[in-house]
Structure 1
Amino acid sequence: MARAFDLSLYLVTDPRQTAQRGLLETVRAAVAGGVTLVQLRDPDAKGRALAEQARALLALLRPLGVPLIINDRVDVAVAVDADGVHLGQSDMAPADARALLGRERILGLSVGTLEELAASDLSLVDYVGTGPVKATGTKTDAGAAIGLDGLAIVRRQVSLPLVGIGGIDRAITGDVIRAGADGVAVVSALCAAPDVAAAARALRDEIAAARA
């Protein structure tokens, strides 16, 4: 059984946007403001550097009970005993990832369209990330924006926990929740915020209001 997780406010890190403040300081402030899950994403980092970042984040997050997900790199997640991995459509197949991760680690998968959904084996997946909801410059290989309607369509087809991702800011956070998402995954809305903790609190307020 996978470790417990809460998709409500999911921070995905970006090395360019955290460079000035620092990765650890950005994540520390985000969690103080209410982030419930953190994904380490640094596609340019080599294995050793990524593992060092992951271990530093685990030392911060594990005492606080906030899971750490590694983007793509199943080997790094296993090596550092991270809480899970998030895979894109072109990454390792979920079945292969699960074989390496074991049952207890969290496995997330990006599913942006009904075509991707139809081609995906979700039997071993714990949650899906759906988007991009809006066009985003953070992830250059993201597909076309699917909008709130597209997210709602995927939601109706998926029984797993679902997090909306891609171009999400405070203005549309409530709409993403009302469209059926269990949470929002954000990059710039927190990593580029002048006051990360305050930005996280504002997003949590929008989530709570939409759920109410």
Structure 2
Amino acid sequence: MHYSTFPYKLYLVISEAACLGKDMVRVAEEAVKGGVDLVQIREKEITAEELKRKTQKLKDMLDKYQVPLLVNDDLQVAQSCQASGIHVGNSDLPPVQIRNTWKDCGILGYSIEYMEQLENENTRAADYLGISPVFSTLTKTNTVTEWGLQGVEKIRSLTTKPLVAIGNMNIGNAYEVIKAGADCLAVVSAICAAASPGLAAEQLRNEIEKIK
């Protein structure tokens, strides 16, 4: 069982665009104070240099709270900023390759879009599996499957890896998704776009904690 090595419950996936004009570092800090215990920076439309600058700024703040930062899909930036880890999908650098290249990678996440992926070496190399998306979402439109609660239950029955549910996670479905077998919720809009990111994080965390 992997659970002891993945203690995280509420995972913030953040970008400038998702924050709707609010300062990204401030949104992340409020969210951490509210109960977020893992953060991923996910910026697709900016230069590597800009990503590096934003990642470093975010990491400097998160280090004060001892909250790990993951970088989405950019190994070079993750390594140069000494991030805690990286999250990759099906069309990104494979986890096996990342393990071979980055020996100090602390947390390696891998998105599952097909049931068949559960059997491969990349899944075995990952620390957790991102179930993406559980429910369809406008922030991630290039996905294949919408898993739903039954999909989460099915994957839970087939693997002992920690499962991180992503895709339209909010206060209305948080409890049900954890109950279905997810270990952690990855949230974008429900925190980033909230009037009070700290309060939104606290409410989500309370829903998660209802299930022991």
- Give yes or no for contact 2:99–2:105 (8 Å, CA) kept in 1: no
Determine the C-alpha separation between the residues in 1 that align with 2:83 and 2:104. 13
The structure 1 segments of at least 4 consecutive aligned residues displaced by more than 6 Å after TM superposition are: none
User: 1:135 aligned to 2:136?
Assistant: yes
- Say which SS state the counterpart of residue 21 (structure 1) adopts: coil
User: 1:89 aligned to 2:122?
Assistant: no
How do residues 87-166 of structure 1 correspond to structure 2 at under 5 angstroms? 87-119=88-120, 121-166=122-167
Q: Which runs of 5+ in 1 are unaligned?
A: none
- The one-character-per-residue Cα deviations of 1:79-128 (angstroms, maximum 9, x if unpaired) are 11000000001101111111222144211000133123234522221111
Q: State the shift of 1:62 in Å.
A: 1.1
- Give yes or no for contact 1:111–1:128 (8 Å, CA) kept in 2: yes
The size of the alignment, in residue pairs, is: 208
Determine the C-alpha separation between the residues in 2 that align with 1:135 and 1:123. 26
Determine the C-alpha separation between the residues in 1 that align with 2:151 and 2:10. 20
- Say which SS state the counterpart of residue 108 (structure 1) adopts: strand
Q: State the shift of 1:143 in Å.
A: 2.4
Determine the C-alpha separation between the residues in 1 that align with 2:63 and 2:143. 30
Counterpart in the other structure of 1:205 = 206
- The one-character-per-residue Cα deviations of 1:59-93 (angstroms, maximum 9, x if unpaired) are 10012110000000011101110000000011011
- Give yes or no for contact 1:12–1:40 (8 Å, CA) kept in 2: yes
Q: State the shift of 1:18 in Å.
A: 1.4
User: 1:76 aligned to 2:63?
Assistant: no
- Give yes or no for contact 1:78–1:100 (8 Å, CA) kept in 2: no
With normalisation by structure 1, the TM-score equals 0.93
Residue identity opposite 1:130 in structure 2: I
Determine the C-alpha separation between the residues in 1 that align with 2:132 and 2:149. 9
Residue identity opposite 1:126 in structure 2: D
Determine the C-alpha separation between the residues in 2 that align with 1:123 and 1:103. 17
Superposition RMSD in Å: 1.4
Q: State the shift of 1:8 in Å.
A: 0.3
Q: State the shift of 1:174 in Å.
A: 0.4
Determine the C-alpha separation between the residues in 2 that align with 1:110 and 1:35. 20
Counterpart in the other structure of 2:35 = 34
Counterpart in the other structure of 1:52 = 53
With normalisation by structure 2, the TM-score equals 0.93
Q: State the shift of 1:45 in Å.
A: 1.5
